[in-house]
Amino acid sequence: MKKRIVIFASGNGTNAKKIIEYFQSSETAEVIQVIASKKDAKVLEVADSHHIASEFIPKEGFQNPEKLIEKLQSQKVDLIVLAGFLLKIPPAFVEAFPNKIINIHPALLPKFGGKGMYGKFVHEAVAASEEKETGITIHYVNEQYDEGAIIFQTAVPVAKNDTPEQIAKKVQHLEHQHFPKVIETLLSTPNE
């Protein structure tokens, strides 16, 4: 039986799109639903265009997550993937899905992580700090922002005159290249 993936996202859904497309012809897993935390998130259109169930759940639905937890448990979800999801996952969610929630961060954690560090803010901080490299970190989600156990990291060089936008493009390339493959590896590895 195929493993079941649900994607949580808040924005354009470029990572969600790559994940959906990657698993469309997979024998091991499938994306069964996309959940967005913003009503106008483009990721909802991405899901619809790929015939994937999608749903907008406002912030309150995540602050009082009992109904959503129950629903996902009844769907026998194997992995919740945060792909540009901007809300903090509540402790009840982490407890309900231990080591079944992963996130991708657009930097090499523990650098440039924590509350408020997402998207362009990360790339601006990397550029301002004159780092020689940046990259992506795929990690398990725990009760703290960006502090869960690291699953995978890979780096890309940062040139002295790279703008935050240029850094963002390099990082996004890494995300699209590696995120679906890491998900597949996780789902094909037996749980301890």
Q: Catalytic amino acids? A: 105
List b or e across 13-50, with b for residues whose CB sees 16 or more CB atoms inside 10 angstroms. Answer: bbbbbbbbebbeebeebebbbbbbbbeebbbbebbeee
Q: What's the full length of the chain, in residues? A: 192
Beta pairing partners, 53: 33
Residue labelled with tokens 């657009």? 106
Pinpoint the alpha helices (H) of the chain: 14-23, 43-49, 59-63, 66-74, 91-96, 119-128, 164-188
Amino acid at position 4, single letter? R
CB 112 within 8 A of CB 137: no
Measured at the CA of 1, the angle between CA 9 and CA 30, to 5 degrees, comes to 25
